[in-house]
A and B are shown apart, each in its own frame.
Chain A
Amino acid sequence: MSVNPNFDRVRKALLLQGEPDRVPMLETSIDRDIKKAVLGRPVSTPEDEVEFWMRAGFDHVPVGIGMRLMVRTASNKAEAAIRIDHAEKVTRTARAQYSLLGDEMRERAWAEEGTGIIAGRAEFESIKWPSQEAVDYAAIEDLGRILPPGAKVVASIGYIFATVTRLMGFQNFCEKLIEEPDLVARVFDKVGQFQLAVFEKVVAMDAVGATVHHDDVAYASGPMVSPVQLRKYLWPWYKEMCRISREKGKPIVYHSDGNVNRVLDDIVETGFNALNPLEPKVMDIVQVKRDYGDKLALVGNIDLVYTLTRGTPEEVDAEVRQRIRELAPGGGYVVASANSITEYVPVANFNAMREAVFKYGKYPIQV
């Protein structure tokens, strides 16, 4: 357990600056029940949040900010503050037994896939966009005051493609992409400008050590839309963020689920330092390391479909050990789940993952 957080090890790994003292870990979302189990009490204050992440052995505390919160269900005040009118129509809820651990029925919100709140030009013109003033940076500022020395905030921004597709509805977005590309371009501009402005403020904050940009563009089969379209509408926004990150010397991580092999060159070209989460079902991380290891740090790949969810702690231990052996020598690898630590990850498996990092992750790697 890292009682002395040291974000430098995360930074060094993400920026491909050789071997840090230990393989770092990076998660941006851990289910509240798992936090509660590790901490022995519910996480309800920023202090609890810090205590959980530090006690679990991380060198950072994640914070989500920007438009991503607007198109998700609000779970706290900061999120509620920047929701836009009718944002509730962006998601639909369903009830089901989502946990593998109990019979409890839970409600979850899912993106509306048909037509969102921007069906066409008229809705785009009339929508009331949130102002920059609605973005609340207090969560990051608060953490800056209470984080122990050595620890940093990792801010999640991203959500450009995700916000555009959610506001328009994915199916409608797809049709408009071909039938009304100028409308799509205008929605991207609106969202991109907003997120870029948030990013500029966030990356300048001392407490922030790195940013992660969650913005899924791929399915298991490959990109959701043509890489040509992504080059036109999406990557330019991130290119600007990457440029600013370089100036600040802060790592910038891109996160997309699915099979992103066909856009790996674009991700490198955009200027991202690292890629997350490399879903093992569709991304051969060893191959990516071989082909892109000198350009991209890799974060993730601990399997969520089987190992972390349905496997045993021994299987988790073996998988983390194998990943460290294959990927950590020379640096550039950060252990993380292949998405996030969800409510259906048994606590024992989450613990086995971190303990394996402490056990096998010390440099020089000897496993």
Chain B
Amino acid sequence: MEELKQAVIDGQVAKARQLAEETVSLGVQPTVVFSDALSPAMEEVGRRMQAGDYFIPEVLVSAKAMKAAAEILKPLIAQSGATRSRGKVVMGTVRGDLHDIGKNLVIMMLEGAGFEVADLGTDVPPERFVAATRELRPQIIGMSAMLTTTMLQMPKVVTALQAEGLRSQVRIMVGGAPLNQSFADEIGADGFGMDSTAAVELAKAWVPAE
């Protein structure tokens, strides 16, 4: 398990996949592999990124290794009927904005922390956030914007959720280069994440592990 954790931290994709296979073939519960190796590995990756030791390339490759291992575990978890998801998050980059990477990093880190994430992609209009909220019943909606102009799409999503009577059912987190806490407060979001680690911290605080 320790070796698997290290392989994810080091971004060794093939090794992580192989170690995940070996670990479950030894009879370790896949949910335990997840909680004791993959999640702590991604937490460490997040710590290193916040400390300024890891940058996006390192994080992406770690996330790739985490996913490779998770691909081995997921079907086994589904077979056993156990639920692994800590909570559901709907994520998207707002209308007019095609910036993908910041949002993807948050998704990878959320998945690492055990959340199930529905990615609506980029250039997402308010009505798609509303439809996804109605359909998937997430606890959290995450919105990303990289531009001072597109960030102004965010309050439109908040208003649309209010108009549909869905606002009270979800917590809203926002993030992206031009944003700050006061903008998040101003538009009536529940939280602002300066980076992907901060976003995951918010999500964890909102949806505590059972």
Contacts and interface: CB of A to CB of B under 8 A. Distances in A.
Interface residues of A, number: 36
Interface in B67-110: 95-102, 104
B101 A258 contact: no
A221 B104 CA distance: 16
A138 interface: no
A99 B149 CA distance: 7
Interface string A76-120: 000000000000000010111111100000001010011000000
Contacts of A244: none
Contact of B56 (A92, A114, A224): A224
A111 to B, nearest CB: 8
B136 interface: no
Contacts of A100: 149, 152
Contacts of A113: 98-101
Contact of A179 (B56, B61, B97, B101): B61
Interface string B164-188: 0000000000000110100000000
Contacts of B177: 219-220, 258
B98 A92 contact: yes
Contacts of B132: none
A175 B101 contact: no
A178 B149 contact: no
B123 interface: yes
A262 B53 CA distance: 12
Contacts of A226: 55, 57-58
A178 B96 contact: no
| Chain B interface category by residue count | 20 to 34
A281 interface: yes
A42 interface: no
B178 to A, nearest CB: 5
Contact of B55 (A173, A225, A258): A225
Given A221-B195, A225-B55, A281-B180, A309 B148 contact: yes
A224 B55 contact: yes
Contact of A262 (B52, B57, B122, B123): B52
A344 B104 CA distance: 28
A258 B11 CA distance: 26
Contact of B100 (A114, A224, A281): A114
A305 to B, nearest CB: 5
B204 interface: no
B61 A175 contact: yes
B137 interface: no
Given A175-B61, A175-B64, A344 B55 contact: no
Interface of B: 11, 52, 55-58, 60-61, 64, 95-102, 104, 122-123, 147-150, 152-153, 177-178, 180, 194-195
Interface of A: 92, 94-100, 108, 110, 113-114, 170-171, 173-175, 177-179, 219-226, 229, 258, 262, 281, 304-305, 309, 344
26 contacts: A94-B96, A95-B96, A96-B149, A96-B153, A97-B96, A99-B149, A113-B98, A113-B100, A113-B101, A114-B100, A171-B60, A171-B104, A174-B56, A174-B60, A175-B61, A178-B57, A178-B61, A179-B61, A219-B102, A219-B177, A220-B194, A223-B55, A229-B55, A258-B177, A305-B178, A344-B148
